[in-house]
């Protein structure tokens, strides 16, 4: 297991871990956490293939590059900020978190302290009154850029200019500030309307040598250090020779496909979210990648259409949500019949289910590599290589 001990960090303990529920394994040493995750993946996947040793972080703290804080008032009327208690909408007050970027936590504490002097009330979900609902801070791991998103219940923001000026005076490291308006009674954090209050409205960060634009709503892996490890292993498993055509399904803002583009002939990125596709196209242009093509479509339907035209691809990369893939998607992929499938999973349980489905339909699991993307929590990512037992000869590519 690849981990370097840090005795100072190993002594750290979170005082609210029991209430928060976000860090289920924080009370264990990091070595013990990795053992727990290794055993979990082994128990589910060893029937398919030998599971390699989990890859841990050298410094498994303060890694989250997206920090979201909910705001409320306590019984005494004091403003509090933090995270929702597990299974509820009760805010657990937090000033600093062992897995969140420390710059982000400091900015959130500053904003909380400014509310009283600017007479800004926190939003009351039950009564539907108040202004500030949430604050989200996104940070660039290598770029150092910082985006602050103020989620308000109304587009009317009294003393807006003075508030922004005061915040920037305290935190000149902030590179952009966005106002997001969420006026609906919903558990969703972000609303549809946005206004850039300062800076360019997005940040950029570098991942595996490629630069990506991160907007308030962009999906971007929250642990940049381990994402480089994970994506590196995914591309390594695919064993790309430079002539392949690959599909990046569930492609989001295009990260995997853009990173793999140097090693293949053609990349096809397919994503249902229209905003993500726009970001993906921007990111490809930003990195001067000319061999990638994005489609705003359901990936399963897209592969069905390719198969109907007798077209083929060499490798499919898929990185589905925690619920895993769907039978419809996997049936479409089987119909397209790629020689290899690289499945990146954030949920070993749904991964086991999907692998069993694919194995029954002619695929063989060749290798599984767990990567600890979320130290302190029970979650673990796994990168799996599958190959078809009877790969057909390539047909003309799209």
Residues serving a catalytic function are 346
Q: What backbone torsions phi and psi does residue 91 show, to the nearest 5 degrees?
A: -80, 125
> Quick check: 355 and 313 in contact, CB under 8 A?
no
Two structure tokens written together for 4: 């370097």
Longest pairwise C-alpha distance within the chain: 71
> Quick check: 224 and 141 in contact, CB under 8 A?
yes
Residue at token pair 């690849």? 2
> Quick check: 91 and 78 in contact, CB under 8 A?
no
Strands (E) in 279-339, as ranges, are 292-296, 315-318
Q: Residue 238 in 3-state DSSP?
A: helix
Strands (E) in 170-291, as ranges, are 176-181, 193-198, 203-207, 210-214, 245-249, 266-271
CA atoms of 4 and 104, how far apart (whole Å): 25
CA atoms of 330 and 136, how far apart (whole Å): 35
Q: Is 8 exposed, middle or buried (0-12, 13-18, 19+ CB in 10 A)?
A: exposed
CA atoms of 214 and 41, how far apart (whole Å): 31
Instruction: Report CA-CA distances (Å) from 321 to 161, 350, 355.
Output: 39, 10, 15
CA atoms of 305 and 107, how far apart (whole Å): 48
Q: Is 108 exposed, middle or buried (0-12, 13-18, 19+ CB in 10 A)?
A: buried
Q: Edge-to-edge strand order for the sheet containing 193-198?
A: 91-93, 79-84, 66-73, 132-139, 146-152, 176-181, 193-198
CA atoms of 285 and 295, how far apart (whole Å): 15
């Amino acid at each position: 297991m690849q981990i370097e001990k840090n005795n100072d960090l190993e002594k750290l303990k979170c005082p609210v871990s029991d209430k928060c529920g976000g860090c289920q394994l924080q009370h264990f040493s990091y070595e013990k956490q990795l053992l727990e995750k290794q055993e979990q993946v082994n128990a589910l996947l060893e029937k398919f293939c030998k599971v390699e040793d989990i890859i841990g972080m050298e410094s498994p703290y303060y890694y989250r590059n997206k920090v979201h804080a909910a705001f409320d008032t306590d019984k005494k009327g004091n403003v509090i900020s933090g995270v929702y208690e597990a299974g509820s909408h009760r805010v657990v007050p937090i000033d600093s978190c062992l897995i969140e970027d420390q710059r982000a936590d400091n900015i959130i504490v500053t904003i909380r302290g400014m509310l009283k002097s600017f007479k800004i009330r926190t939003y009351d979900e039950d009564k539907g009154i108040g202004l500030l609902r949430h604050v989200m801070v996104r940070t660039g791991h290598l770029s150092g850029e910082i985006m602050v998103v103020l989620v308000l219940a109304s587009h009317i923001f009294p003393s807006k200019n003075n508030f922004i000026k005061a915040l920037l005076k305290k935190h000149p490291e902030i590179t952009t500030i966005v106002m997001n308006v969420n006026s609906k009674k919903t558990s969703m954090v972000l609303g549809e309307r946005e206004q850039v209050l300062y800076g360019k409205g997005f940040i950029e960060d570098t991942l595996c040598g490629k630069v990506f634009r991160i907007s308030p709503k962009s999906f971007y892996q929250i642990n940049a250090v381990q994402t480089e490890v994970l994506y590196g292993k995914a591309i390594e498993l695919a064993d790309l020779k430079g002539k392949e055509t690959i599909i990046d399904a569930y492609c989001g803002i295009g990260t995997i496909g853009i990173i793999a583009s140097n090693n293949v002939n053609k990349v096809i990125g397919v994503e249902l979210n229209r905003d993500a596709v726009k970001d993906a196209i921007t990111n490809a242009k930003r990195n001067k990648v000319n061999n990638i093509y994005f489609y705003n479509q359901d990936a399963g339907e897209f592969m069905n259409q390719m198969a109907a035209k007798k077209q083929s691809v060499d490798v499919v990369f898929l990185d589905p949500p925690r619920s895993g893939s769907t039978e419809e998607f996997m049936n479409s992929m089987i119909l397209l019949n790629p020689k290899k499938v690289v499945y990146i999973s954030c949920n070993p349980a749904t991964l086991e289910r999907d692998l069993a489905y694919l194995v029954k339909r002619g695929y063989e699991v060749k290798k599984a590599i767990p990567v600890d993307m979320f130290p302190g929590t029970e979650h673990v990512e796994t990168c799996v290589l599958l190959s078809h037992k009877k790969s057909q000869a390539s047909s003309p590519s799209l």
